[in-house]
Amino acid sequence: MLNRRKILQGFATGIGATLGSTLSHQPVLANTGSGTSFNRIIFFMQNQGFDPKTCIPTGTKNDGSLMGAKLPEPISPLEPFKEKLHIINGLHGSHTSPSHSAFFGALGGYRGGDGVPPAGATIDHVLSQALPETLLPHLCIGMDSIENMRSKPTLATLSASGPGQPIFMHSNPNHLYQMLYGGISSGEIRRHHEARSKLFEKVEALAIAKGDAIPKSEVRRYQQYVGGFREVNDLRNRLGTVSEHLREFAPEVDSRYSHPEFETDWHDALLDLGISALKAGITNTLTVGSGRGEIFGAWKGLGIDQQGHNLGHMAQPGNPIWIKIRQYNCRMLARIIEELENCPEGSGSMMDHTLIIYTSNNADKQHTTGANWPVMLLGNLGGIFRTGRFTQLDGKRPINALYATLLEAAGKGCTRFNMDEKLAKKFDSGTGHLKELLA
Q: In the chain, where are the structural domains located?
A: 28-172+262-437
Give the pLDDT band of residue 192 (cuts 50, 70, 90): low
pLDDT for 232 beyond 70: no
Nearest to residue 127, comparing CAs of 421, 428, 402? 402
Contact partners, residue 372, CB within 8 Å, separation at least 6: 52, 89, 90, 91, 92, 363, 364, 395
- Do residues 409 and 123 make contact, with C-beta atoms less than 8 angstroms apart? no
Q: Is 432 helix (H, G, I), strand (E, B) or coil?
A: coil
- The residue-averaged pLDDT of 393-408 equals 96
b/e per residue, 70-90, with b = 16+ CB within 10 A? ebbebbebbeebbebbbbbbb
What value does the mean pLDDT of the chain take? 86
Question: How far is the C-alpha of 135 from the C-alpha of 377, rounded, in Å?
Answer: 26
**Lowest mean per-residue pLDDT among 112-116, 190-194, 236-240, 358-362:** 190-194
Give the pLDDT band of residue 434 (cuts 50, 70, 90): very high
Q: How many CB atoms lie within 10 A of CB 369?
A: 14
What pLDDT is stored for residue 15 in this prediction? 43
What pLDDT is stored for residue 6 in this prediction? 38
Question: How far is the C-alpha of 390 from the C-alpha of 373, rounded, in Å?
Answer: 14
Question: How far is the C-alpha of 114 from the C-alpha of 102, rounded, in Å?
Answer: 8
What pLDDT is stored for residue 133 in this prediction? 87
What pLDDT is stored for residue 20 in this prediction? 39
Tell me the per-residue pLDDT of 144-166, one tens digit each, with 9 for 90 and over. 999 999 999 999 999 999 999 99
Which position has the higher pLDDT, 182 or 381? 381
Tell me the per-residue pLDDT of 376-390, one tens digit each, with 9 for 90 and over. 999 999 899 999 999
pLDDT for 293 beyond 90: yes
pTM of the model: 0.86
Residues 28-172+262-437, CATH architecture: 3-Layer(aba) Sandwich (3.40)
- The residue-averaged pLDDT of 48-54 equals 97
Cβ burial, residue 42 (10 Å; 0-12/13-18/19+): buried
Give the pLDDT band of residue 220 (cuts 50, 70, 90): low
- The residue-averaged pLDDT of 45-51 equals 97
Nearest to residue 102, comparing CAs of 139, 50, 152, 140? 50
Nearest to residue 291, comparing CAs of 50, 14, 16? 50
What pLDDT is stored for residue 348 in this prediction? 93
pLDDT for 8 beyond 80: no
- Whole-number percent of the chain with pLDDT over 90: 71
Tell me the per-residue pLDDT of 124-147, one tens digit each, with 9 for 90 and over. 999 999 998 898 889 999 999 999
